[in-house]
Amino acid sequence: MRASRVLLQVVATIAVLTGAATSPALAAAPAGPSVTGAWPTRPSGPAGTEAQVVAAAADPVWSAPVTAVPDRGEPSDVSCPTTTWCMAVDLSGQALTFDGHRWSPPRKVFPKAPGQPQAAVSCPTTSFCLAVSAYGYGVYRSGTWTVVRSSLAPFRTVGCYSAMRCALVMGDAWSAHRMAYWNGSTLTTSVNMPWAVRVDSVACVSATTCHAIGVEPKGGAIALRSSGATWVASFLVRDSWQSTFDMSCPTTTFCLATSSASHAWRWTGASWADAGQTSAGIFLSPVSVSCSSATSCQAVGSERVGRWNGRSWSILDLFPIIGASYAVDCATASTCVVVDDRGRFWRGGGSTWTPAASFDLTSVGLNDLSCPTATFCMATDVTGNAVRWNGTGWTGMTRLGTRSSYVSCLSASWCMTVDEQQGTSRVWTGSWQSRTTFDLPGPYRPVACASTTACFTIEFGQVRRWNGTSWSALVPLLPGSDERVQLACAGTKFCVAMNFDGLFSVWNGTAWSAPRRSGISMADRLTCTSNTFCMVESEYRLYSTFDGRTWAVRRTLPGGGGAFGCQSSSRCLASTYEGTVYRWSGGAWAPSANRLGFAARELVCTPTRCMAMSDDQASWTL
């Protein structure tokens, strides 16, 4: 069944732990190398090397964009008509088949289409499938795909009874309330769904009858049933616009529908009845469900799999990724396949499942970037990969985990990454070292290293320190903080941490200072080049500078959105969403004649070079 991209937030319980003492005043520290968490800007080097910095007024010249993080993979749906055959589709437009033992290489089916990516598939037999996407639809017949660019696209999901009868939900994740039909050779005229403003799932149980579930204008969950071309709606429960729904109908007299708000309902053949909360001491929050019979259904969500036996739910922890998206389909009660948007799959049923295994190479979206030298960068993506730049190109993509990691590098042979969710870290020393687990899952962001024995990561305003072999306990640093904390280091004895409200603390090589108010609010990006120069972006694109003691609020950054990075106290670059670049020479911003070929999410600088990256592309100054 179709899976939805659902972000599940973690509510962390924060304990106040004792740790290193703080210092009320900042002792003067010599200028030195710069390594930041999300915004590293200066490599190792002694003070007084400003002469090596690019002239403040020089116009940056950018390389042609290259792909750094390929947009590929992200399985979104799976359909298994038998125990030995499945078809999976992903958000990059690929399809893969499973023969009960191994997966085929991915085959490109759909070209990339504008708008929100979406892909779903339904296979009533091993010789016929219908797949849909934002581009159009694809027909699979005995190993061959035929793809049609449809004027009715985008399509949200699909359900097939046979090769001659499928229903396709038209629209996207916010507005999908029309249904089109496949008659074996083409799509017929679409029809409006009564009451519905969004339909999330459809299942056809005969050539004339289909069921669907969605949302009515006030946010309530509704079930829909067709008889020929006519649809009727039934109100289920007051729910939420933010909930997503799925359904599975193995027979004409039984369907099971689920909500990510942990509600479930069953179709009795005549009406809908409550099927209880999808919980057994812990909530499942399902995003996908599949039934092989009225007494055997499997649902996945919230890192768990749940089984409905016709009377009640049992829940099993299986997928330790908070916020991932899953899809499940079952050929029998004991032969189900689950896929997730990290490119992994599980096989089993009930309480017995195989371990996770990768089958669809997935890399999507830049998360963080660190460049300690002019010829080395390390970038991480949102699906747990890391990739390196060697001065000429991007290489060495490695999966570190299953969630975003933050990265801070001291040199080409030393980097620290911290998983934003799993409470783990990895060290790069020319090769990746084994994973260190230091906490239960929780939101850690970002990471910044002053040396190989002084790295810091923050959880809700509390800080941990890496001492070269292990992480310390959490120590209170910026009280009242949420997860939006900026962190940057410039040298072995200077780091700055600032929360969203502008409360900041400075590390002097020994201890963190008592927190102080900066006068800044909505702090968003922070970079430091020395112990006497930092720059931060805050509300309404204001930028402020730090001289080691106080913050001075300057003026508005030019343009809209984008990123910025500094090479020295007299040279910074900023980009806009449109790719326009501005340079700062210590007092004012001036437009550059040279543009970026994309909207940069990160712009990180060393004294002699800057690297700009979008979700998938990168350009550097020449």
Assess whether pLDDT exceeds 80 at residue 138.
yes
Predicted local distance difference test score (pLDDT) of residue 3: 41
Over range 424-449, report the average pLDDT: 92
For each of the domains in the chain, give its residue range(s) and CATH number, in order of start.
34-56+364-556 (2.130.10.10)
pLDDT surpassing 90 at residue 223: yes
Number of H helices, E strands in the chain: 0, 58
Of the candidates 106, 130, 103, the one whose C-alpha atom is nearest the C-alpha of residue 119 is 130
Average pLDDT over residues 2-24: 32
DSSP sequence for 545-573: EE-SS-EEEEEEPSSSS--EEEEETTEEE
Q: What is the pLDDT of residues 37-46, one digit of tens each?
A: 333 333 333 3
Q: What is the pLDDT of residues 381-398, one digit of tens each?
A: 999 999 999 999 999 999
Q: For residue range 100-130, what is the model confidence (pLDDT) as tens digits?
A: 999 999 999 998 766 667 899 999 999 999 9
Q: Is the pLDDT of residue 418 over 60?
A: yes
Task: Output 305 or 279, whichever has higher pLDDT.
Answer: 305
Taking CA atoms, 603 is separated from 416, 560, 573, in Å, by 19, 15, 8
214: Cβ contacts below 8 Å, ≥ 6 apart: 176, 177, 193, 196, 197, 198, 199, 200, 201, 221, 222, 224, 245
pLDDT value of residue 56:
63
**What are 320-346's pLDDT values in tens digits?**
666 678 999 999 999 999 999 999 999
**DSSP code for 524:** -
- Which of 8-22, 186-200, 438-452, 466-480 has the highest average model confidence (pLDDT)? 466-480
> Residue 304 — pLDDT band, cuts 50, 70, 90?
confident
pLDDT of residue 139: 98
Residue 323: per-residue pLDDT: 63
Q: What is the mean pLDDT of residues 596-603?
A: 94
**What integer pLDDT is reported at residue 514 of this predicted model?**
97
pLDDT over threshold 60, residue 76: yes
CB 529 within 8 A of CB 568: yes
pLDDT tens-place string over residues 308-318:
999 999 988 87
* Mean pLDDT score of the chain: 87
12 band by pLDDT with thresholds 50, 70 and 90: very low
Helical (H) or strand (E) element with 96: strand 94-98
Question: Residue 384: what pLDDT?
Answer: 92
Rounded CA separation 591/364 (Å) = 31
Q: What is the mean pLDDT of residues 590-609?
A: 94
Q: Identify which of 329, 183, 315 has the alpha carbon closest to the alpha carbon of residue 246.
A: 329
| Residue 9 confidence class, pLDDT cut points 50, 70, 90 | very low
Does residue 207 register a pLDDT over 70? yes
Query: Cα separation of 541 and 532, whole Å?
Result: 22
Lowest-confidence region among 112-121, 476-485, 513-522: 112-121
Give the separation between CA 60 and CA 92, rounded to whole angstroms.
34
Q: Which long-range contacts (CB under 8 A, 24 or more apart) does 343-351 make?
A: 343/73, 343/74, 343/75, 343/90, 343/383, 344/402, 345/75, 345/78, 345/88, 345/98, 345/103, 346/318, 346/319, 349/296, 349/298, 349/307, 350/307, 351/307, 351/314, 351/316
Reply yes or no on whether the pLDDT at 589 is more than 60. Answer: yes
Confidence of residue 291 (pLDDT cuts 50, 70, 90): very high
The residue whose two tokens read 């959880």 is 459
Q: Which long-range contacts (CB under 8 A, 24 or more apart) does 345-349 make?
A: 345/75, 345/78, 345/88, 345/98, 345/103, 346/318, 346/319, 349/296, 349/298, 349/307
Structure tokens at 333: 């009660």
For residue 556, the model assigns a pLDDT of 83
From 559, 522, 577, select the one nearest 544 (Cα to Cα): 522
Q: pLDDT tens across 346-357, in order? A: 999 988 999 999
- For residue 115, the model assigns a pLDDT of 66
Rounded CA separation 98/241 (Å): 35
Q: What is the pLDDT of residues 143-184, one digit of tens each?
A: 999 999 999 999 999 999 999 999 999 988 778 789 999 999
Which whole number is the average pLDDT over 62-79?
95
Report which of residues 555 and 63 the model is more confident about.
63
**Could you tell me which of 503, 499, 474, 495 has the C-alpha nearest to residue 486?**
499
Which pLDDT value is given to residue 504?
A: 97
Specify the range with the lowest mean pLDDT, choosing from 84-98, 127-141, 341-355, 457-471.
341-355
> Looking at the predicted structure, is the pLDDT value of residue 50 above 50?
no
